Copies of this chain bind each other. A is one copy, B any other.
Amino acid sequence: MKKIGMGLVGPGFVAAHHIDAVRRLGDVDVVAIAGSSQQSAEKKAREYKVDKAYGNYHDLIADPNISVIHNTTPNYLHLPVTMAALAAGKHVISDKPLALNPEEARTMRDAAVKAKVAHVVTFNYRGNPLVQQARGMIARGECGDVSFVHGHYLQDWMTDPNVYSWRSDPAKGGSTSALGDIGSHWCDVAEHVSGLKIASVLAETTTVIPVRYSAGASAEAFSTKSSGERTPVNVTSEDLASVLLRFEGGAKGSFSVGQVLPGHKNDLVLEVNGKALSLKWKQEEQNDLWIGRHNRPNEIMAKDPALVSPDVRSYVHLPGGHQESWADAFFNLMRDAYAWIAEGGAPEAKPVMLPTFNDGYRSNCLVDAMLKSSAAGGVWQSVVFQAEIR
């Protein structure tokens, strides 16, 4: 069987999950990975059981056996790696956030469109079958007019001040932490599911832990290992934020994000209230969709091929009760991405579920508006977004 070749740049925390997902496709070949040095790349290649390692991303991009680039570098490297890949005519699957700011993101979006390749950003929560079920129910009008879109995305992994990585460094992770890292996910799912666009935002951001202690060198995200002496670092990016939302068409919204809230692991909750019914999806209980009703009992729809809509069935791989979760949703994203790639990235062939650089750029615009609102002391800020020109 002819396989499509992929290469990955940036073998950090999430890289293993990219590789895992594409291996499950069966017809994708993990050709090579590129790291910051030949030595580190080879170490990671052995760990991930990949045959080839490159000490820089240029060589990987130039590899003729590779037609898809997975960009899992720290945020500040998204731009150069992706632009180089696009210039070489390669398809690109980039981690989120797409860029450090809307300008960079727009540059990539426009370049990708011009390059006529597939361009994907990993807003992976879309890959859950019941997220698609909720999106479909709202799109078909089953919820009635949407009045309120709300929820939160709460974590506790930064509770310990000894947690410090490139993510907290403005130069490498961007000027935002909670909003950029997880608020971006929440907003993407909120707009994707509700079918509504956020028109303006009002944000209140906070840095609960303003001094963190760095173990130096290249500490990986989600690592809490202490390694000898630690250096205090002033942190300016927010680890807590609450945001009010006004959607186009009049619906309202609100959400909170936090990375320092003990007991919350990856607690993303989205609820959409319509005049006819409400839908609530909790990422940590992703196999259930809560359907709230006024005059009838509430329902819990299980992720079950027999219960979801026909168009959602292809995202379900097991009978109900045989739960599918993070890696399976990530797989669904990659499956749709490679289906698009198989069509050469033709715009009209893009699966509806698949988040593109356009969505990644939009996400940067949303977060940017929130940061501006908060910096101005809490004022309503319109979302500035330049639509794609084909």
Q: Are B298 and A274 in contact (CB under 8 A)?
A: no
**CB closest chain-B residue, reference A273:** B261
Instruction: Give the distance in Å from the alpha carbon of A138 to the alpha carbon of B208 in the complex.
Output: 18
Q: Are B240 and A263 in contact (CB under 8 A)?
A: no
For chain A, which range describes its interface: under 10, 10 to 19, 20 to 34, or 35 or more residues? 35 or more
By a CB distance below 8 angstroms, the chain B residues around A306 are 224, 295
A297 CB within 8 Å of chain B: yes
A390 CB within 8 Å of chain B: no
Instruction: Give the distance in Å from the alpha carbon of A262 to the alpha carbon of B321 in the complex.
Output: 13
By a CB distance below 8 angstroms, the chain B residues around A51 are 1
A49 CB within 8 Å of chain B: yes
By a CB distance below 8 angstroms, the chain B residues around A287 are 284, 325
- New A-B contacts (14) at CB < 8 Å, excluding given A263-B277, A284-B323: A147-B206, A150-B152, A159-B275, A202-B202, A202-B378, A209-B275, A242-B244, A262-B275, A262-B278, A265-B319, A283-B323, A318-B327, A324-B325, A327-B328
Q: Are A27 and B1 in contact (CB under 8 A)?
A: no
Known A148-B240, A322-B326; contact A298-B296, beta-carbon cutoff 8 A: no
Shortest A173–chain B CB gap in Å is: 17
Which residues of A are interface residues toward B (Cβ below 8 A)? Answer: 1, 16-17, 19-20, 23-27, 30, 48-51, 147-148, 150, 152, 155-157, 159-160, 202, 204, 206, 208-209, 222, 224, 240, 242, 244, 246, 252-254, 256, 258, 260-267, 273-278, 283-287, 289-302, 304, 306-307, 317-328, 377-380
Shortest A52–chain B CB gap in Å is: 10
Instruction: Give the distance in Å from the alpha carbon of A202 to the alpha carbon of B277 in the complex.
Output: 28
Q: Are A321 and B242 in contact (CB under 8 A)?
A: no
* From A302, A306, A321, residue with most partner B Cβ within 10 Å: A321
By a CB distance below 8 angstroms, the chain B residues around A323 are 266, 283-284, 286, 323, 325-326
**CB closest chain-B residue, reference A258:** B148
Q: Are A242 and B274 in contact (CB under 8 A)?
A: no
Shortest A239–chain B CB gap in Å is: 9
Instruction: Give the distance in Å from the alpha carbon of A298 to the alpha carbon of B252 in the complex.
Output: 30
Q: Are A204 and B202 in contact (CB under 8 A)?
A: yes
Q: Are B26 and A294 in contact (CB under 8 A)?
A: no
A sample of 28 cross-chain residue pairs with beta-carbon separation below 8 angstroms, ordered by A number, consists of A1-B49, A17-B318, A26-B49, A26-B50, A27-B49, A147-B260, A148-B240, A148-B256, A150-B256, A204-B252, A204-B254, A242-B253, A261-B278, A262-B273, A262-B274, A263-B293, A265-B320, A266-B319, A266-B323, A267-B321, A286-B323, A297-B299, A298-B299, A299-B300, A300-B300, A322-B326, A323-B323, A377-B380
